[in-house]
Chains A and B, each alone.
Chain A
């Protein structure tokens, strides 16, 4: 005997609405209990960039774009606890797909240096960009900043800023960056030479003013170093501070009293033996 279920049309509609309402309610309850933004691990697997390029069947630029956009959303998601494990692979894949696409190198390096705290990884990515776009000074400039700010390696920063500044398309401020790195390394003599060169070749007031401010401090640091050494010798001999800088000259400790960068006399405090310049800008030494 066959069982036949015959339902009226209106009853079917009511059952449909009822079931949809139940499904909606269940979803509401699920959302109340689920923690979508809890800390959790993730897993990402990508073929190497060259393989992806073949698998994209001519749409490698589009694939690079989509992967790049996805990576921005992925790294904006801070509840993923192990996302930085895949950082270098993801950005290598994007840059292999489209080697002359600039933004992934820059954005990737920022995520690596600032968020993942891996400045060496950032510099590797930036140098890969330089290899693919040798005419662009930006990669060396960013490498220099990364070395200075995040790796705290002034020598390396100086090296990259030097490379960036030597690019014919590079803006003038990169020379100032290089000079500032030399200053931060406490190599005042070289810093003075580099800043003086910038001062003499300055093309606008901003550059000239910047160079002047740096030179004031550097000249002071160089002269102060010499003064303090001479004053120490004087104190050892005469058991007191010199009454003036001229006294140092009289006793033969210095041949000539240097002036500050503006050609003005230094101000000497005989009670403390300290020297100050009449006008000086102090640049941060620690970073």
Chain B
């Protein structure tokens, strides 16, 4: 119940944020502008529509996850409201979990609204529903949960600027970490060993990206999707636990 209260409170606070609305509107406008860009192409306009639309929604939702998440805990500490909350019979772990669930709900609302509008728009533009897009948005949501847990982790002990730098860096690393498989054999044994450790510890976000299969109308590999779901659950849970450990040891003055 306490976690639920913190979650709803976090959600209400996030949706009242002007930056949140701005990013959602920008995401929708950017997705809908794909129709103008598609006029400039020769050939498959539907591919351009989907590509630009999905990429816009992806990009802006990631921004929401990062810039809302980095302030989640820090703001409470800065405004000293943390003392009020922790004076209640609520554990620090529950507080973190509530914050995470609140932001997850915020992202779900943002993503759902963008998805519905994009779906309608795509139907009007192409005359057909592509239900594979739902699979894409589901995996995108899982990716956003991972990014949220990363931003929450840094928010629990760092300032917003540093948290944003670290979160964005890990996001970028996560999108390119798959390239390690291409050059690992060229490394020295020690570098290869260290590289492998980092490769498995740092997040790998490429597995949530099925844009290629979607826009080129290729078959989805159900095993890889299931693997991605489990990975998101495990990784997010691990980061939340780490956040709780760090936050428990934190002293407030």
Binding site for B on A (CB under 8 A): 54, 57-62, 65, 68-69, 72-73, 98, 100-103, 106-107
Contact = CB atoms under 8 A, between A and B. Distances in A.
A181 to B, nearest CB: 27
B48 interface: yes
A158 B33 CA distance: 45
Contacts of A54: 176, 179
A222 to B, nearest CB: 44
B12 to A, nearest CB: 32
B43 A62 contact: no
Given A58-B206, A61-B55, A69 B211 contact: no
Contacts of A72: 40-42
B229 interface: no
Given A100-B218, A101-B47, A68 B41 contact: yes
Does more than half of chain B's interface fall in helix, strand or loop, or is it mixed? helix
Contact of A62 (B44, B51, B216): B51
Contacts of B175: 57-58
A58 B54 CA distance: 12
A57 B172 contact: yes
Interface in B211-227: 211-212, 215-216, 218
Contact of B205 (A58, A68, A102): A58
Contacts of B40: 69, 72-73
A57 B59 CA distance: 11
17 contacts: A54-B179, A58-B205, A59-B55, A60-B212, A61-B215, A62-B211, A69-B37, A69-B40, A69-B41, A69-B48, A72-B41, A72-B42, A73-B40, A98-B212, A101-B47, A102-B44, A106-B43
Interface residues of B, number: 25
Contact of A65 (B52, B172, B218): B52
Contacts of B158: none
B192 interface: no
Q: Which 10 residue pairs across A and B have the least CB separation, nearest first?
A: A103-B43, A58-B175, A62-B55, A57-B175, A69-B40, A65-B51, A100-B216, A61-B211, A61-B51, A58-B209
Nearest to A110: B42
Contacts of B176: 54, 57-58
Contacts of B58: 59
A63 to B, nearest CB: 9
A59 B205 CA distance: 12
A65 B209 contact: no
A35 B20 CA distance: 46
B42 A107 contact: yes
B212 A61 contact: yes
Contacts of B211: 61-62
Nearest to A56: B175
B213 to A, nearest CB: 10
B146 to A, nearest CB: 13
A87 to B, nearest CB: 15
